Amino acid sequence: MPMDFYCKGFALSHSKSTMKVGTDAILVSALLPDIEPKNILDVGCGCGIIALCAAQRYSQAYVTAIDIDEDSIDEAQINFAASKFKERLTAINISLQDYAARADHKYDLIVSNPPFFENSLLSKHIKRNISRHNITLSLEDFAECTSSLLSSGGRIAIILPAQETSKFITIANEFHLFCESQKFVFDTANKPCKRIVSLLVKGNQPLQTDIENIIIRNQDLTKTKQYTDLVNHILL
């Protein structure tokens, strides 16, 4: 089947998924931590872009991708089967809550571009609402479930709207998830930060958080060198 989006190591389709490939997924993929995970979980995988990037980044890792949307999982399975990483990729149509209740092993890394836009208006499209709002997955559920699925010292790489991030970090601390680093993402230098990529570690005590700003576009709306250098290993 024809592909809609091309990366350096693979191509994929995103026509069926509730959420198309966007900057948020690319940012999470580009900012994956310098570790050597064996098992990775992608929560709310959509078409599978982050899972594919993780499989490419970590050549020895097995990646499980989950999503509650059946069409998204169907498309992720097609994209996985077309990739050279297909033996290390699995897509399952299931909620995080149900998966956490039945999983029989731990993960070294959990990645997510999750559905948290608590204060934004709901659209008339039910499937899009589910993918973009916390209708079926609250911040509390996410923190509790991912903590139970992580191995000790395991990490979560997550992107959230700026207004939700501090709330999530507070909740996450209750489940022994502590913030190691945060990347504050700005569309341009003169606009407010709208989203933050956070890296959390499962442990027993708070960490010193490393903070960095990422500016995506120059004032003329061309991409900044900072952003292009960051995503160079992913995008053509």
- 216 or 125: whose pLDDT is higher? 216
* Contact between residue 185 and residue 193 where contact means Cβ atoms under 8 Å apart: yes
Pick from 10-19, 83-92, 220-229: least confident: 10-19
The H or E element containing residue 93 is strand 89-93
- Residue 76: is its pLDDT beyond 60? yes
One CATH from 3.40.50.2300, 3.40.50.720, 1.10.10.10, 3.40.50.150 for 5-175: 3.40.50.150
pLDDT (average), residues 56-74: 97
pLDDT at 135: 56
Close Cβ partners of 219 (under 8 Å, ≥ 6 residues apart) = 188, 189, 190
In the chain, the amino acid numbered 216 is: I
Sign, CA torsion 67/11/187/18: negative
pLDDT tens digits, one per residue of 44-63: 999 999 999 999 999 999 99
- Residue 123: is its pLDDT beyond 70? no
pLDDT (average), residues 200-205: 95
* Contact between residue 164 and residue 112 where contact means Cβ atoms under 8 Å apart: no
Average pLDDT, the chain: 91
pLDDT at 119: 43
Tokens 């699925």 belong to residue: 149
